[in-house]
Copies of this chain bind each other. A is one copy, B any other.
Amino acid sequence: MSRALTVKSVFKVPALKIASRHLSTCATYFPGEPGAPVIKTSSVPGPISQQLNDKLGHVFDNRATYFLTDYYNSIGNYISDADGNLMLDVYAQISSIPLGYNNPELIKTAKSDEMTNALINRPALACFPSTDYSKILSEGILAAAPKGMSRVWTALAGSDANETAYKAAFMYQHTKRRGASDFSAEELESVMDNKVPGASDMVILSFDKSFHGRLFGSLSTTRSKAIHKLDIPAFNWPKAPFPSLKYPLDQFEAENRQEEDKCLSEFETIIKNYNGKVAAIIVEPVQSEGGDNHATPYFFQQLRNITKENDVLMIVDEVQTGVGASGKFWAHEHFDLPSPPDMVTFSKKFQAAGFYFSSADLQPKQPYRQFNTWCGDPSKALIARTIYTEVAKHGLVESTSRVGDYLYGKLEALSEKYPIGNLRGQNFGTFIAWDCKDADQRAHLLGALRNKGINIGGCGDYSIRLRPPLVFEQKHADILVGALEAVYAEL
């Protein structure tokens, strides 16, 4: 058992060997992992965690803490808390941690001279890029780029990935309208007072229940929950309805098509009514924070058609869905779009953040328009490169697809016996969710699961979402399903 995994053993001893071939369903990525969760306290969080959290509260907002985490003793799919409880982690830092905790390849990257160089000499990337930045991007973030995307703008988190994409959209649309003309005197003057015509009166159109971040521009497009938005000024930007599909999908094909057509029609009406003022739309392949709301490929294909016809840019927010969890590297690859999106944003599982694009026109004509001091972080680009390399080398997207199908089947069987409502994510890797009766039942279930050694999270008003690492295997799925069966049986 892995309780011997101390700092020393994890960081210093190259004991964790990884098979250099694709994982078969039997192979295991983390041979050093424990065979099952280990729960030592009567409930989670335990007393040490609570004591440390009280201390943290004196200096940092800690009201959302699940438990204080011992990252040194976490390994692979298992997260350790301060009390020595070792839990199977199917939440993974809100859908981050693609390669599991204390991944040996990431340890190598972290210990490398390249990383040291990136950390201690942090560049202002747009002014003083390092001689090797092009290579680092090309081998990592760009090697992973979705089809049709050849360039990247690097940022620091999902929110600013989206906001810089919005800025690119606004600049693109206004530049196109301005044609060969330079900025007018009136534009140059009015913009300093935050007024049109220098400031834009165009809008970003987002969807009901979407989540795109919490800074002022991104929060204006976020429509998930009131508590995310209350008391904060917001742009008067529109929202379109997102389909509410009925499950199981194969039993409600006609109704769901009707629902999607209704939403598409409203979507198109909003764009027409805005009369050329919608600069871009932003859409998640699956609305994650908002409750794991899926739509069919048809819906996304039509979004692409309508935006193309109306000269509106399409931004796909893959902050939570990207980097493999859906069983494809990018979730929008499930949709067989008639043409690629204009921009695709990423963060979370890639640790690095930013947006992909292809059109050179999305790079403003003048320098210093899309600009800031850091413009990303080479240390995160190095992490992203290792993540991409490992994912490709070990076929982790394919194994996630396979394990996801296995897990979905088990959950579908469970749902015959227990109140597992609207099971979602078939053929969508481990990106799986379902509904509880209500928020109280969900809170009970999440707590009960944690006490049984499963760290798991919710989304929307009463859904449970699965967000395990890409190194989640069939044996982990079996442990999860066993725990779920136990807590549902006790309901």
Q: Is B374 in contact with A157, judged by CB distance below 8 angstroms?
A: yes
Chain B, Cβ-Cβ closest to A72: B117
Identify which of A67, A130, A208, A213 gathers the most chain B CB atoms within 10 Å of its CB.
A130
Q: How far is the CA of A35 from the CA of B101 in the complex (A)?
A: 46
**A175 contacts across to B, CB distance below 8 A:** 231
**Is A120 on the interface with B (CB-CB < 8 A)?**
yes
Q: A170-B233, A230-B187, A233-B170 are in contact. Are A71 and B121 (CB under 8 A)?
A: yes
**A348 contacts across to B, CB distance below 8 A:** 373
Q: Is A7 in contact with B113, judged by CB distance below 8 angstroms?
A: yes
Q: Is A94 in contact with B351, judged by CB distance below 8 angstroms?
A: no
**Is A488 on the interface with B (CB-CB < 8 A)?**
no
A76-120 interface code vs B (CB 8 A; 1 in, 0 out): 000100100000000001101100011100110111010111111
**Is A55 on the interface with B (CB-CB < 8 A)?**
yes
Q: Tell me the smallest distance from the CB of A90 to a CB of chain B, in Å.
A: 13
**A203 contacts across to B, CB distance below 8 A:** 233
Q: Is A68 in contact with B370, judged by CB distance below 8 angstroms?
A: no
**Is A199 on the interface with B (CB-CB < 8 A)?**
yes
**A252 contacts across to B, CB distance below 8 A:** none
**Is A61 on the interface with B (CB-CB < 8 A)?**
yes
Of the listed stretches A24-32, A190-198, A260-268, name the one at the interface; the rest are far from the partner chain. A190-198
**Is A462 on the interface with B (CB-CB < 8 A)?**
no
**Is A215 on the interface with B (CB-CB < 8 A)?**
yes
Q: Is B56 in contact with A117, judged by CB distance below 8 angstroms?
A: no
Q: How far is the CA of A173 from the CA of B239 in the complex (A)?
A: 27
Q: Is B174 in contact with A131, judged by CB distance below 8 angstroms?
A: no
Q: Is B93 in contact with A199, judged by CB distance below 8 angstroms?
A: no
Q: A59-B150, A157-B373 are in contact. Are A217 and B217 (CB under 8 A)?
A: yes
**A198 contacts across to B, CB distance below 8 A:** 226, 229-231
Please give the count of copies of this chain that the complex contains: 2
**Is A474 on the interface with B (CB-CB < 8 A)?**
no
Q: Is B383 in contact with A120, judged by CB distance below 8 angstroms?
A: yes
- Which residues between 38 and 66 of chain A lie within 8 Å of chain B, taking CB atoms? 52-53, 55-56, 58-66
The interface size bin for chain A is 35 or more
Q: Is A371 in contact with B214, judged by CB distance below 8 angstroms?
A: yes
Q: Is A71 in contact with B213, judged by CB distance below 8 angstroms?
A: no
Q: Is A128 in contact with B82, judged by CB distance below 8 angstroms?
A: no
**A159 contacts across to B, CB distance below 8 A:** 160, 215, 372
**A363 contacts across to B, CB distance below 8 A:** 61
Q: Tell me the smallest distance from the CB of A162 to a CB of chain B, in Å.
A: 10
**A110 contacts across to B, CB distance below 8 A:** 115-116, 119-120
Q: How far is the CA of A50 from the CA of B113 in the complex (A)?
A: 25
A347-387 interface code vs B (CB 8 A; 1 in, 0 out): 11001000000000001001111111110000100010000
Q: 19 A-B contacts, Cβ less than 8 Å apart?
A: A52-B131, A55-B134, A56-B129, A60-B153, A63-B367, A64-B371, A65-B127, A68-B131, A69-B131, A71-B130, A96-B124, A158-B373, A171-B232, A187-B230, A194-B220, A198-B231, A214-B372, A217-B217, A228-B369
Given contacts A52-B131, A71-B130, 20 further A-B contacts (CB under 8 A): A7-B113, A58-B134, A58-B150, A59-B134, A59-B137, A59-B142, A60-B125, A60-B129, A60-B153, A68-B131, A72-B113, A96-B122, A101-B121, A170-B232, A187-B230, A192-B223, A213-B372, A215-B215, A215-B216, A379-B379
Q: 7 tightest A-B contacts by CB?
A: A216-B217, A63-B367, A194-B234, A106-B120, A174-B231, A110-B116, A71-B121
> Which A residues form the contact surface with B (CB < 8 A)?
7, 11-12, 52-53, 55-56, 58-72, 74, 79, 82, 93-94, 96-97, 101-103, 106-107, 109-111, 113, 115-131, 133-134, 137-138, 142, 150-154, 156-160, 163, 166-167, 170-171, 173-175, 183, 187-188, 191-195, 198-203, 208, 213-218, 220, 223, 226-237, 239, 347-348, 351, 363, 366-374, 379, 383
